[in-house]
Chain A
Amino acid sequence: MRSTFGGLETTLRAIQAQRLALDLTGHNIANADTPGYSRQVARISATAPYCVPTMNRNTIAGQIGTGVETDAIERMRDEFLDRQLQYENSSLGWWTTRQSGLEQLEVIFQEPSETGLGAQLNKFWSLLQDLSVRPDDANVRTPVLETAENLADTIRHTYYQLENFQKNLDQEVRVLVERINSLATKIAQLNKEIVQVVGVGQNPNDLLDERELLLEELSELTDVNVQINELNSMTVSIGGTLLVSGDDAYHLRTVDNATTGFAEVVTTINGRTVDVRKGKLASTLELRDVDVNYYKDSLDSFTRTLIDEFNAVHSSGYGLDDDIARNFFGGDSARNITVLITNPREIAASNVPGSEGNGLNAIELARIIKDIPHATTNNETLSSFYGAMIAKLGVDADKADTALTNQTMLVNHLFTRQQSVAGVSLDEEMANMIKFQHSYNAAARMMTTIDETLDRIINGMGIVGR
Chain B
Amino acid sequence: MRITNGITHHRLVNNIQRGLSRLDTYYNQLSTGKRINYPSDDPVGVAIGLNIKEGISEGAQYKKNAQTAIGWLNSADDVLGQVTAVIHRLQELCVEGGNSSLPQESMNALADEVTQLRDHLFQLANTRHEKRYIFAGQQTDDPPFLFDGTLAVGDPGRFQYQGDDQGMVIEIGTGITLTITHPGEEIFGTDAQFFHDLDAFIEDLRAMDHATVSTTHLEMLSDKLDDVLSVRSQIGAKVQRLERTVERYEAMDVNLKDVLSKIEDADIAEVTMHMMMRESVYQAALATGARIIQNTLVDYV
Contact = CB atoms under 8 A, between A and B. Distances in A.
B43 A398 contact: yes
B301 A434 contact: yes
A397 B138 contact: no
Given A125-B61, A356-B138, A111 B298 contact: no
Contacts of A18: none
Contact of A397 (B3, B5, B38): B38
A126 B62 CA distance: 9
A355 B65 contact: no
Nearest to A421: B2
Q: Which of B4, B10, B60, B264 has the most CB of A within 10 A?
A: B4
Interface string A300-320: 000000000000000000000
Interface of A is mostly: helix
A226 interface: no
Contacts, number: 181
B138 A366 contact: no
Nearest to B142: A356
B3 A425 contact: yes
A427 B170 contact: no
Contacts of A423: 2, 4-7
A110 to B, nearest CB: 10
Contacts of B3: 420, 425
Nearest to A129: B61
A419 B6 contact: yes
B46 interface: yes
Interface stretch (B49-57, B94-102, B104-112, B146-154): B49-57
Contact of B169 (A360, A394, A416, A417): A360
A416 B141 contact: no
Interface in A104-133: 106, 109, 111-112, 118, 122, 125-126, 129-130, 132-133
Contacts of A125: 57-58, 61
A136 interface: yes
B184 interface: no
Contacts of A416: 7, 10-11
Contacts of B57: 122, 125-126
Nearest to B171: A363
Given A355-B138, A397-B40, A391 B46 contact: yes
Contacts of B38: 103, 106, 394, 397
B132 interface: yes
B6 A394 contact: no
A165 interface: no
A122 B4 contact: no
Nearest to B177: A363
Contacts of A454: none
Contacts of B1: 417, 420
Interface of A: 32-33, 102-103, 106, 109, 111-112, 118, 122, 125-126, 129-130, 132-134, 136-137, 350, 352, 354-360, 363, 366-367, 370-371, 383-384, 387-388, 390-391, 393-398, 400-401, 412, 415-417, 419-421, 423-428, 430-431, 433-434
9 contacts: A32-B6, A137-B131, A356-B138, A356-B141, A357-B138, A395-B40, A416-B7, A416-B10, A419-B4
